[in-house]
Amino acid sequence: MAGDETKATTPETICRGLPAEPLILDGRALTDAGCQLSIAALHDVLDRAWADIRSGAAFGGKSVLSLSEDAFWQPAGYLQRPAEFVGERLGWKLSCLYGVNPNYAGVKVIGANAVNRLHGLARSRSTFILMEKFTMQPIAIVDATALSAARTGTYASLVHRLCLTGRDRITLFLFGAGPIADAVLRSLGFRAAGSIGHVFVRARRLEKAKALQASLSPLLPFEITAVEDNSALAEADYVITATNSAEPVFADHQLRRDACLLSLGGDEVPAETLRRVLRQGHLACDDMATVSRRNSQSLALLFSRSGTTLETVGPHLGVLELSKSKDWQLEPGAPTAVTCVGLPMLDLYVVSALYEKYRATAFGPLPL
């Protein structure tokens, strides 16, 4: 018995399960192996991730190098800023998200620029290096672009459960029609379909909203309508922002007073709205320290623009965190504004689940 226990924890046993070289898992390799994660598997994996984050078994950090827009336009060969980018953040940045859990470590590297669409490229591209935790040896290099959008989309159903449980036939107003907006609707279609009656989608360009409506309407059990203004916003129980806007995408007076707001983009929410929600309801985020230090979203900017930080003041104001509790016990009818910046541990769990599925399919079960 003792010999078996020793054998199970030796470096030789750990290394026996490591590939000689990191596996390269791009979209084609995963598709050919039939190893995409289903929507159900994705949510199950992230449920485990949140439990481990709250218990302290998974942790990580995020660093972002944001580059100056002024340093982009002229060297890139544009004599003047293209009209279609007025009011939009380039989001020209290099990001690094790193984390560990009980079995794995990993780093996600993201390069992003909104101007990429002029070249037929994705706005952002994510590459994940998955490592075995104890040796810190790379075991897979994964194209995580689609996975990143999918994990971000699941915030929508998580916040729905916390803030809108018990409300039937709710109306959702979604700002944005890109990959994250697509993932938001798929997540809600999986976990909250029965409580959603109608979804309005508004994007910077109406044709993009219409394209999202056309692609998802046959797949999801609620009505989706593309709109070109905020007229329907006053009807919305749930408002989600997932855009690259450089300024707020609505005015506070356009919102229902008891609406639940989820921000997945940047500085998209009026300071007036956040101040009102702070007085009348609940401000929340996925993780206070991460949102505060990133300082790119409306909630963090509300405090930094007045000379303090969310991380310093938030605990005294009762700001809630997904990373600390799975049940916020909100007051019925009180407005809620939730800001999510994206925790690196979530990517780690999704990528490691995909890696394990690929290894089991291509090479058989992992060694014990």
Q: DSSP of 249-313, one letter per residue?
A: SS-GGGS-TT-EEEE-SSS-S-HHHHHHHHHHSEEEES-HHHHHHH--SHHHHHHHTTTS-HHHH
Average pLDDT over residues 166-190: 95
How many domains are contained in the chain? 2
The per-residue pLDDT for range 306-355, each reduced to its tens digit, is 999 999 999 999 999 999 999 998 988 899 999 999 999 999 999 999 99
The per-residue pLDDT for range 289-307, each reduced to its tens digit, is 999 999 999 999 999 999 9
Is 368 within the bounds of a domain? Answer: no
Give the whole-angstrom CA distance, residue 100 versus residue 347.
10
Is 289 within the bounds of a domain? Answer: yes
Residue 32 confidence class, pLDDT cut points 50, 70, 90: confident
For the chain, give the percent of residues with pLDDT over 70. Answer: 93
Tell me: do 133 and 218 sit in the same domain: no
- Return the bridge partners of 284, or none: 320, 338
Instruction: Supply the range of the domain harboring residue 63.
Output: 2-148+346-363
For the chain, give the percent of residues with pLDDT over 90. Answer: 71
Tell me: do 159 and 181 sit in the same domain: yes
- pLDDT in the model for residue 367: 55
- Return the bridge partners of 173, or none: 200, 239
Tell me: do 194 and 328 sit in the same domain: yes
Is 217 within the bounds of a domain? Answer: yes
Tell me: do 12 and 156 sit in the same domain: no
Tell me: do 142 and 175 sit in the same domain: no
Tell me: do 119 and 178 sit in the same domain: no
Pick from 309, 308, 297: which is nearest to 249 by CA?
297
- pLDDT in the model for residue 122: 87
Give the residue, 234 or 85, on which the prediction is more confident: 234
Tell me: do 157 and 276 sit in the same domain: yes
Tell me: do 75 and 181 sit in the same domain: no
Q: Give helix 145-163 / helix 179-191 axis angle, nearest 10°.
A: 50
Sequence-distant (≥ 6) Cβ neighbours of residue 142 within 8 angstroms: 25, 26, 127, 128, 129, 130, 351, 354, 355
Is 200 within the bounds of a domain? Answer: yes
Residue 36 confidence class, pLDDT cut points 50, 70, 90: confident
- pLDDT in the model for residue 33: 78
- pLDDT in the model for residue 5: 43
Residue 366 confidence class, pLDDT cut points 50, 70, 90: low
Mean pLDDT of the chain: 90
Pick from 82, 85, 110, 106: which is nearest to 96 by CA?
110
Residue 13 has pLDDT above 70, yes or no: no
Tell me: do 124 and 175 sit in the same domain: no
Average pLDDT over residues 170-196: 96
Residue 16 has pLDDT above 70, yes or no: no
Give the whole-angstrom CA distance, residue 50 versus residue 39.
17
Start-end of H helices in 56-136: 70-73
Tell me: do 338 and 359 sit in the same domain: no
Give the whole-angstrom CA distance, residue 114 versus residue 344.
22
Give the whole-angstrom CA distance, residue 328 versus residue 9.
40
CATH of the domain at 237: 3.40.50.720
Tell me: do 352 and 310 sit in the same domain: no
CATH of the domain at 20: 3.30.1780.10
Sequence-distant (≥ 6) Cβ neighbours of residue 119 within 8 angstroms: none
- pLDDT in the model for residue 2: 41
- pLDDT in the model for residue 198: 97
- pLDDT in the model for residue 143: 93
Tell me: do 338 and 199 sit in the same domain: yes
Is 167 within the bounds of a domain? Answer: yes
